[in-house]
Each structure stands twice: as C-alpha cells, then as structure tokens.
A = this chain, B = another copy of it.
Amino acid sequence: MEAYFASRNDLILQDRSSRLDAYQLKQVSDVEKEADDIVRTIRTVEANSVWGVNKTTIFDYSPDDNSPNVFPGMAFLTARDIAVHTKVFHIMSKMPKGALLHAHLFATVRARKLLEIALTQPAIYIRTTTRLTPSSIKATLPLFKALPFAQRTNLTSLTDDAYIPGEFVPIRAARDNFDVSLGGPRGFDDWVISCMEINPSEAYGTHNTTAKIWAKFTSTFKVNEPLCFHMPIWKAYVKQFFLSSVEDGISYVEPRLSFWQKFCSGEDGESNIPHREWLMAYDGVIKEVKEDLKRQGRENAFVGSRVIYSTMRTDSPEQLEWYLEDCLALKQEFPHLIAGFDLIGHEDSLRPLIEYIKPLTTFQERQKELGLDIPFIFHAGETLGDGTAADMNLYDAILLGTKRIGHGFSLVKHPKLMEICKEKKIALEVCPISNEVLRLTTSIPMHPLAIMINHGLPVVLSSDDPAAWGSTGMTYDFYQVLVSSEVSGLITMGELARDSLKYSCLDDDEKQHALAAYNEQWSKFVEWVVKEYGTNLNKPARLN
C-alpha cells in the first residue's frame, strides 16, 4: 500500500510538473503558504455555504425542485450578485493583478460611467428610428451622434408626441424630459445602459448561441462608439479606464485600440481628429494619471500603457493595406505607444487570417525596411469550431509569428500548435468570462483553461470587454478561475498575474521594474490575507 501511494504521488507530481505554478510551489515562503492554505479553506467552506456543493445528493430528487441552479464558476451574469459577497471575491479584489493584456479599450468602462460622461457633452445628440413607447422601448436602440453647431437642434424631448423619429435631440434634454411612462430620467439611463450591456435573459435565453449573442454584442458597440469616438469623451474614457484598472490592482494595460474609424469627432462636433492626435491624447492621459499617482505616493501602482493597433476583419486585403501603412507611421512617431498589431471582430463569421497573408507579410517586410518592430498579437481560435476557418486561424497566427494569441480557445485541439506555443512562449490571452458570456462555454469548469494550465501552455487572464457584461477590471475573472479548480490556488493566481507582466510588450527594463513593483505588492497582499483571514476563518466577508 505504501508503495502504491508513493507511486501515486509521483505520478501526480509528474502530471503537474509543467504547470505555471510548479516552480513557485517548490519555493513558497511561509506566509505565502499560509495565505494559500487560508484561501483553499475559505473556498471549500464557501463552495458549500454559498454555492450549495454537496447540498443535494443523487438520492434527493424532487420533481418540483425550483431551487436555483448554482455552483462555483457558474454563468457570470447570474453568479455576479452572489460572488460579490464572498470572502474569496474580497480577497481577489485586493490581489495585485499585474498586466491586462487583452481588452478592447472601449468596452472597459462601465456603461453608466460612459453615459455620465456623455451627458456633460453639449455636442452629443440622440435619436431613435421608431417612436418610444412602453412596448417598443425594449426593441429600440438609442442612436447617438456628435453634431456640429449648424445641425444642433433645441428639441426638448425624445418621447413627447411632437417627436418625429429620426430627429436629433440634445442628450441632456432627452434624459431630463424622458417620459414618466418610460421611467423618466432613470428610465432613460436604464434603457441606454441595457443597450450597451448583455443581460442574462439574452445570453442565457433568447440569444443563447455564439452567433446570436455576438449580434447583441456587436450592437452594444453600435450604441457606444459614437460616444467613445467623440474626443472629449474619448479622453475621459481612457482616463477612467486607467483609474479603474489601478483601483482593481492592475499596474499595466495593453488594450486593443480600434483604428478602423479614421477620425474621431472633435469637441465642436465638426472637426475630424486623425489617428496621430488620438495617440497624443493617449500619451497625455498616461502622464496625467502617472503624475496624480505620484503625488499620492503610489507611482508603482501604474507603470503605464501601450496600445495594440487593431482594425476590423471586415475589410478586404486591399483595404487593410491603408491601415498597415498607418500603423507603421504611428509606430515611427509613437514607438513607446504601439505595442503590436491585431485584426478584430467575430472570427466565426468574418474574414479568416488566410485571406490577409499577402498584406501581412508585406507589413513585416516594410518593418524591416523601416527598422521597426511591431509584433502581431492576433486573435485566433476564439471559436467552438474543430477545423473551421476560425479554428484554422491558429495555424496562420502561429506561422505569421504572433507574439501572443488572443483567446486561443480552440488551441487545446491542436497538439502540434500546443508544442510550438510552449517552445516559443506564445502566451494565450484567456478571457474566461468573455468566453462564457459569448457562449463558447457555459461555465468556467467547462472552459479549457484548466487544460491549458495543466499542459503548461503560457497563459494570462484577461477581461476582454467587461463593460459589455456590466463589469470592469479583472477581479471577477480571477474569482471565477480560482473557484473552479481544486489544483489552482492563490499561488497560481499570483503566477498568472506575474506572467501577464512577463508576456507584455514592455521593454526589458520596464518589465524588470514592473515585476519588482509587483513582488512588493504581492508580499503586502499575502501578509494582508493572513492578517485579515488567518485568525478567524469564519468571520463574515467585508462587503466592498
């Protein structure tokens, strides 16, 4: 029997030897070990007390059972309100997260905040194409636009009888005078926000397929883009993104910024602000936030930001050429701001990478000519397909030398590509909640992340488009991952965070600095865990 258990332990160790936490687990400090143990204990307790694991047994069948279907790692949009009150969530909210490497910039700030910003902008107008009534409102989208002075109206309501569908109303007036039958100003907010967010009845009911939920998801961008691409909002949004990231323990952000629209509207609603001015503004906001934090003595809380130049997979290869040249020009002017290049949009239905091989390889040659280095950081394999064009994007992303892979959800179906990713340290930017809300998986225990981690694939966690699911930051992603495994623990979460800095596009020097700052934050954090939860595991979670 002893021999059996010895060989069993040996087998388990071998099986887990390539995990990202294998090395760290051999050299943890006492306090790290204690914090990890504490979190495992709390997780087990909450699995029962909060998530009802072990509550029903297989002998407890009740045909008229109407109890909620809850479990750890369950669908986010219904789990959120439960998760937020747990101790594990509280701990994750305090954990330093390292870098956010996969997020679409204009889906990172809560819709309510965006609306709040938009309401301060005199150029922002709103219209609808059908008359709003209590019965039509659910199916009607708010259409925003920044208007030049000449086109501005002084209409006062979107909902009174005099309103002619299609006419623009100033956003502030539209809100103030929103009909009481539609909920008044608060009804206006709820309506607009519901069109910028995916709600559970859509994700898990009416639009419960990847194709249908992507249609809803795309429509949220139709609603918020006219706001985000108005320069005064643009700047305020970016600042809010940085601040909320810092608040969540994220010290560096590398968002995808879509340059597909060639211009933002200026404050006057008239002028066209070109891409280079976007980056000047971006640079300005970074400096502002850094200075603010420095004044507060928190300069290590934010080491900065770079953007991944992104454009849409809707364009033809010929149309793409303009963007590639644009990207080269921007990299020349802002070498410290352009981290890489990507193509974005729904992989299952838009053009696969293989259609763009020619312009993309030309792009690489042009970089050599110009002495630039703009790594590809491609979305690939964000699909349930096995051998579909979206799944095959993985071959092209890797053959084109991608530095990381956005999602790589289907990568675990490709043994040879897994080998290459491990060898070449091509990290997967895994977005667990995004994949779940967008219906590639229906819960985190069903997500391939555990497969990726156990196989030693380089992995980082990301939030993708948290605003679209009413969230911000990465706490929820870490939470969902932590409660969905019995192998991973706090040490694992720390390694995931550290790896996000390692696989970022920071320069070597910056990276060393960021990692040193991270290690300091981490030490304080594990000490806090022990102090806060070590002595009394049973005290209630502090609400955030």
Give residues in A with beta carbon < 8 Å to B.
1, 4, 7-8, 11-12, 14-15, 17-18, 53-66, 69-71, 74, 138-141, 206-212, 214-219, 345-346, 349-350, 357-358, 361, 384-388, 391-392, 395-396, 398-399, 412-417, 440-443, 445-446, 448, 450-451, 454-456, 484-488
Contacts and interface: CB of A to CB of B under 8 A. Distances in A.
A57 B209 contact: no
Contacts of A211: 53, 55-58, 71
20 contacts: A1-B361, A8-B395, A11-B398, A11-B417, A12-B392, A12-B395, A15-B414, A18-B415, A54-B349, A55-B211, A58-B346, A58-B349, A61-B216, A66-B206, A384-B445, A386-B454, A386-B485, A412-B412, A440-B446, A441-B446
Copies per complex of this chain: 2
Contacts of A56: 211-212, 215
Contacts of A413: 450-451, 454
B4 A399 contact: yes
B71 A209 contact: yes
Contacts of A440: 446
A193 to B, nearest CB: 14
Given A57-B349, A412-B412, A412-B451, 7 more contacts: A53-B211, A56-B212, A58-B345, A386-B485, A415-B455, A442-B446, A451-B451
Contacts of A219: 61
Contacts of A395: 8, 11-12, 15
Nearest first, the 4 A-B pairs at minimum CB distance are A387-B486, A387-B487, A15-B416, A384-B445
A396 B209 CA distance: 38
A215 B56 CA distance: 8
A115 to B, nearest CB: 19
Interface centre among A141, A387, A442 (most CB of B within 10 A): A387
Interface SS of chain A: helix, strand, loop or mixed?
loop
Contacts of A455: 415
Contacts of A345: 58
A385 B486 contact: yes
B215 A59 contact: yes
Contacts of A392: 12
Contacts of A215: 56-62
A526 B392 CA distance: 29
B357 A1 contact: yes
Contacts of A384: 443, 445-446
A485 B386 CA distance: 5
Contacts of A446: 384, 440-442, 446
Nearest to A74: B209
A438 B441 CA distance: 16
A450 B417 contact: no
A533 to B, nearest CB: 22
Contact of A207 (B65, B212, B391, B396): B65
Nearest to A66: B206
A399 B11 contact: yes
A448 to B, nearest CB: 8
Nearest to A412: B451
A400 to B, nearest CB: 9
A64 B485 contact: no
Contacts of A208: 69
Contact of A63 (B7, B138, B358, B448): B138
